[in-house]
Amino acid sequence: MISLTNRFRAAVAQRGVYDMITFGLTSDIPLWFIDEMGTTPWDDLNKLWKMSPLSRVRNIETPLLIIAATNDFRVAISQSEELFATLKLHNKEAMFVRYPRDGHELSRSGEPLHVIDRLKRILEWFNKH
User: For the chain, which residues score pLDDT lower than 50?
Assistant: none
What does the radius of gyration of the chain's CA atoms come to, in whole angstroms?
15
Q: What is the C-alpha to C-alpha distance for residues 21 and 50, in angstroms, rounded to an integer?
A: 10
Residue 99: per-residue pLDDT: 98
Third-level CATH fold of 11-128:
Rossmann fold (3.40.50)
* Residue 20, Cβ density class (10 Å: 0-12 exposed, 13-18 middle, ≥19 buried): buried
Taking the C-alpha atoms of residue 31 and residue 55, their distance in angstroms, rounded to an integer, is: 24
Q: What local confidence, expressed as pLDDT, does residue 25 receive?
A: 86
H/E segment holding residue 66: strand 64-69
pLDDT at 42: 84
Query: Angle at Cα 11 formed by Cα 33 and Cα 54, nearest 5°?
Result: 40
- Beta strands 11-14 and 64-69 are parallel
